Structure 1
Amino acid sequence: MAEYLDIVDENGNPTGETVERAYAHRNGVRHRTAHVWILRKRDNKIQVLLQKRAETKSFPGCYDISSAGHIQAGQEFLESAVRELHEELGITASESELVYCGDRRIVWDDVFFGEEYHDRQFTKVFLLWADVEEGDLVLQEEEVSSVLWMNLDECIAGVRQNAFKHCIYPEELEMVRKKAIEGFHSADNPA
């Protein structure tokens, strides 16, 4: 079944037109995505949960955002983020638990499985404090092959040095780190 996305302007506002997801990626049509980075506190440090992408996905076998997904036509960012968390990792969260970190505009051109891939995304980035164990997650096998908790500062250094196979933008991870540190000692932080 084809997945349809809203075509959006440079600020992420739907234009009123929709496009099939595969067409958007073949032709570089701007659409929306939501990224959720899951964090927890351990030993007075912040850890981030990375997902390892399934071998059948773009960037196969790369470590990536905890949970991310395209915004289906007619849906909104928070609604989609909560849905993707549940689908990909089996995590049930409410929209109010997601902490907004900022917006990103992604332009990426590549080739996957012999096909041109032209990604044009307007993305809202969120974080979720959730102290969950890797073994308690229910992974969506066609999307996620495994997950890994990593110290956030070590992850940022590893991404910058390409110390492990990943498809993570260091600027996005820094955005999440900044927001996480702001809330690290907050009474509102349930972690």
Structure 2
Amino acid sequence: MPVPAAQLDPIALADKDEELFDIVDDENNVIGQEHRNVVHSQGIKHRAVYCFVFNSKGQLLLQQRSAKKKIGPLQWDLSIAEHLEPGEEYRQAAARGLREELGINVEAARLAGPLVPVHLRELRVPEKGVRDCEFVTSFRLDGWEGTVVADPAEVHAWRFVSVEHVRQDMQDSPDSFTAWFRDELRAVNYFLTEHPDPI
């Protein structure tokens, strides 16, 4: 059963348009900085990272995105999807995202990965004026049995479920999940289920 996040001031917004991102060229080299709203409206390449959290039973932590999110409100998502802060490395951003969104405090070195090479992912949401172009990779945290304290500005609810259950739910109700989660689960499927060691 999903665990709800704490109540939040209704005027709070999950997405901060003035947040600064490093922007990158076609080879993922940093060439400057720009605000979130400009990056997402103009399709400027930037960086993001995903992390999959598993408990000792091998169940995957899913988060349901806040209703305040501009993209994918109330859709189920992977454990965390985080933009990199200026000057930040992928692994450090994954650890920060775990801490900020889920209250999971672990050293970055504990994260296995990257699970796949850094790759470019593009998401278009014309009705929201969004063209999101990110260089992304993924990490995983295994055996988590500590507390989860979700940030209600980011997370509406969360739950642990088996990967097999996630796959079936995605097949039955694909629109209940974010587009990038559907894509990324396919991209790292081999490493998630059969070969847990990172590349």
TM-score range, shorter chain: 0.7 to 0.9
Q: CA distance change for structure 1 residues 60 and 111 in 2, over 3 Å: closer, same or farther?
A: farther
TM-score under structure 1 length normalisation: 0.83
The answer (yes or no) to whether the contact 2:78–2:181 under 8 Å persists in 1 is: no
SS in structure 1 at match of 2:59 = strand
Q: Which runs of 5+ in 2 are unaligned?
A: 1-15
TM-score under structure 2 length normalisation: 0.80
Question: For 2:156, which of 145, 154, 167 is the aligned residue?
Answer: 145
The 5-angstrom pairing of residues 36-47 of structure 1 reads 36-42=51-57, 46-47=58-59
Provide Cα deviations, 1:92-142, integer angstroms capped at 9, x if missing partner.
111111111113321111146xx4111011101111113336xx3111111
1:189 alignment counterpart: none
Runs of 4 or more above 3 Å deviation:
168-171, 174-177
Q: Distance in 1 between matches of 2:175 and 2:131?
A: 24
Q: CA distance change for structure 1 residues 160 and 9 in 2, over 3 Å: closer, same or farther?
A: farther
- Percent of aligned positions with the same letter in both sequences? 24
1:30 alignment counterpart: 45
Aligned pairs, number: 176
The 5-angstrom pairing of residues 29-178 of structure 1 reads 29-42=44-57, 46-57=58-69, 58-99=71-112, 100-102=114-116, 103-111=118-126, 115-132=128-145, 136-162=147-173, 165-167=176-178, 168-178=180-190
2:12 alignment counterpart: none
1:9 alignment counterpart: 25
The answer (yes or no) to whether the contact 2:77–2:181 under 8 Å persists in 1 is: no
Note the C-alpha offset of 1:26: 1.0
SS in structure 1 at match of 2:119 = strand
Note the C-alpha offset of 1:159: 1.6
Provide Cα deviations, 1:43-72, integer angstroms capped at 9, x if missing partner.
xxx311100000010200000010111111
Q: CA distance change for structure 1 residues 161 and 10 in 2, over 3 Å: closer, same or farther?
A: farther
The answer (yes or no) to whether the contact 1:126–1:176 under 8 Å persists in 2 is: no
The structure with the largest strand share of the pair is 1
Note the C-alpha offset of 1:164: 6.5
Q: Distance in 2 between matches of 1:111 and 1:132?
A: 40
SS in structure 2 at match of 1:40 = coil
Question: For 1:18, which of 20, 33, 47 is the aligned residue?
Answer: 33
Q: Distance in 1 between matches of 2:37 and 2:145?
A: 33
SS in structure 1 at match of 2:159 = strand
Q: Which runs of 5+ in 1 are unaligned?
A: 187-191
- Give 1:109's aligned amino acid: R
Q: Distance in 2 between matches of 1:64 and 1:116?
A: 21
The answer (yes or no) to whether the contact 1:160–1:170 under 8 Å persists in 2 is: no
- Give 1:81's aligned amino acid: A
